[in-house]
Amino acid sequence: MAGNSNDLIYTSLVRPPLIPPYSPLSQPDALSTVLNIIAVQYRDERELELMQLKRDRQIAEGQHLVREVELAEAKQQRETQKQREITRNRYEWARHENELRQKREREAEDRRQQRAADRRSSKDPQDGEDICPLDDDNLNRFLNPQTSRDYPRDYVYSERDFSAPSCRAGQEAK
């Protein structure tokens, strides 16, 4: 700023100086000091404005981040609730399926017991004994399924079929 003394002389020749010549500000050192003070004040004000803008921006970003965090938490809560609902539905469905399976098993067992009771109670009208699949008539059907019309071709005898007293007596006799 010391180089401004030539400018000061030039401007004072062209137009009257703004600062009276007898003023302490008319000295180049004093003028540069005042200009430095004004520049520092302007710089400080500008820095203060920039700091204020920066703080406002950080606050806005912070609010934006808070909003993002809130949205993320809400999304996470929705996902958690959805997973709980899915788990609850799976549990309900599995429980329902288990109840149905148990019911079918009970009904199947009841039918098996009923068939076994029916077999035990069925008597051959001629001799009054249980019907044995190894009787001559049934044995022929078993050995020649293509000639049999009473049993389907894929009929398989189970051990229960041979539990009739007449079968046991026939097997013991052999």
The pLDDT value given to residue 34: 74
Is residue 87 domain-resident?
no
Please tell me the total count of domains within the chain: 1
| Residues 22-51 pLDDT 10s | 555 555 666 677 777 787 888 888 888 988
Q: In angstroms, rounded to a whole number, what is the distance separating the alpha carbons of residues 172 and 174?
A: 5
The pLDDT value given to residue 118: 81
Is residue 118 domain-resident?
no
Is residue 158 domain-resident?
yes
Q: In angstroms, rounded to a whole number, what is the distance separating the alpha carbons of residues 25 and 15?
A: 17
Is residue 150 domain-resident?
yes
Q: Which two tokens stand for residue 21?
A: 């010549």
For residue 70, the one-letter residue type is E
User: Given pLDDT bands bounded at 50, 70 and 90, which one contains residue 1?
Assistant: very low
Is residue 88 domain-resident?
no
Q: How far apart are the first and last CA of the chain?
A: 136
| pTM tops 0.95, yes or no | no
Q: In angstroms, rounded to a whole number, what is the distance separating the alpha carbons of residues 90 and 82?
A: 12
Domain of 145 in residue numbering reads as: 123-174
Angle between helices 5-14 and 28-121 (to 10 degrees): 110
Is residue 76 domain-resident?
no
Is residue 161 domain-resident?
yes
The pLDDT value given to residue 18: 58
Is residue 167 domain-resident?
yes
The pLDDT value given to residue 69: 87
- Please tell me which residue, 85 or 151, carries the higher pLDDT value: 85
- Residues of the chain with pLDDT > 70, as a percent, come to 52
The pLDDT value given to residue 63: 83
